[in-house]
Amino acid sequence: MKRTLFFLGAFALSFSGLQADELFLGKKNIFNKAMDSFGQSRVIQWCEKKLSSDAFVKVFFGAEPASPLFQEMGKDAQITLGISEDCHVPIYKMTLNLELFKEVGAFALPGFIIVNENRLNRASYGAQRAALFHEAVHIKYADSTASEFFVTFFLALGVAGSNKIIRDYNLFQTSLLARVATPFAVGMTSLILSGKFYGHYRERRADIEGCYATQCYVCVKEHAEHRRKIFEQEKNSLRHNGYLWAEDLLVIADELKRENRVCIYHSEIVKG
C-alpha cells in the first residue's frame, strides 16, 4: 500500500512540477532548478556527447558549417549562457531535406545546432539572434538526451506502478491478457504524455532563458514580432508545442527595456 502511494505521489508530483511554469518567468522554482541540474549533470552531458554523430547530421541534413554570422551568434550564445567550452557545439546549416523542415528556423541535436538558413535568413537580426540563444539553451541542458531519460523513467514508473496496483488490489483476476496488457498500456501512455510535457517544458525554458540571456530588449521585441507573424498569421504547425507567444515575449522585452539592456548591434543602431 505504501509503495502504491509512493508511485502515485511521484507520478503526480513530477507532472505537476512540469506544469508549474507561471513561476518560471524570471524566477525558477525548486522543481525548475532540479530539472536544470538534471540536464547539466555529468551523466546526461556524457551521454549527450556519446549520442552526437557527425555521420548522422551529414546524411540527414547535409550539414555544413553555417554562415559566419550564425556561427558567431551561436558561439556568443553558448558563452553567455555559461556553457563550459568543452561542451560547446558547432553551428551547421542544413542543405538536405529543406522542404521537410521548411517551418523550422533552427534546431539542436546532441553535439550540433543546425540552422535552416533558407528560412532564418529572412528573419530580422533580433529574431535570428534569439533563435540561436534558444537552441543554445537546449544544448546547455542537453535536452535531447535528458528527454530520453525522462520518458524512459516514466515508462518504467507507469509499468511498475500499474502492475503493483493490479497485484495489491487483485484486479483483472479472470483475465491474464488484461493483467499483462494494462501495465503495458499505462506505460506507453505515460511515455507519450511525459514526452509531450517535457517537450513543452523545454521549449518554454529555451524561450525564457534564451530571451533573458540576449540581454537586449530590441532583439526580444523583434523576436516577438517574428513570432507573431509565423504563429498568428502563417499558423506555423509548431505553435502549440510550448513556445511562448508574442505577448509573452513582449513581457520579457519590457522587463529588459526597463533595465536598459541593449546588445552591441542594436546599441549602434540606436546611436545611429
Among 155, 219, 220, 246, binds Zn ion (CB under 5 A): 219
- CB of 203 or CB of 209, closer to Zn ion: 203
- Does position 206 interact with Zn ion (CB under 5 A)? The reply is yes
Select from 218, 224, 249, 256 the one that contacts Zn ion (CB under 5 A). 218
Element (H, E) at 106: strand 106-109
Q: In one letter, which amino acid is 86?
A: D
The count of residues interacting with Zn ion (CB under 5 A) is 7
**216: contact with Zn ion by CB under 5 A:** yes
- Residue 5 CB contacts under 8 Å (≥ 6 apart), including other chains: none
Tell me, rounded to whole angstroms, the distance of Cα 4 from its chain centroid.
32
Can you say whether the dihedral through the CA atoms of 161, 167, 173, 175 is positive or negative? positive
Which is nearer to Zn ion, 137 or 157 (by Cβ)? Answer: 137
- Quote the least distance from Cβ 256 to Zn ion, whole Å: 10
Q: Helices 2-19 & 143-168, crossing angle to 10 degrees? A: 150
State which residue, 213 or 218, has the beta carbon closest to Zn ion: 218
The dihedral sign for the CA sequence 221, 226, 232, 233: positive
Binding to Zn ion (CB under 5 A) within 159-188 occurs at none
Euclidean distance between CA atoms 65 and 57, whole angstroms: 11
Q: Per CB under 5 A, does 104 bind Zn ion?
A: no
Q: Does 115 bind Zn ion (CB under 5 A)?
A: no
Q: Which residues contact 14 (CB under 8 A, 6 or more apart)?
A: 154, 194
Which residue stretch of 15-23, 93-101, 191-199, 200-208 sits at the interface with Zn ion (rule: CB under 5 A)?
A: 200-208
- Name which of residues 230 to 269 contact Zn ion (CB under 5 A): 263, 266
Stretch that binds Zn ion, among 31-39, 79-87, 181-189, 197-205 (CB under 5 A): 197-205
- Residues within the interface to Zn ion (CB under 5 A): 203, 206, 216, 218-219, 263, 266
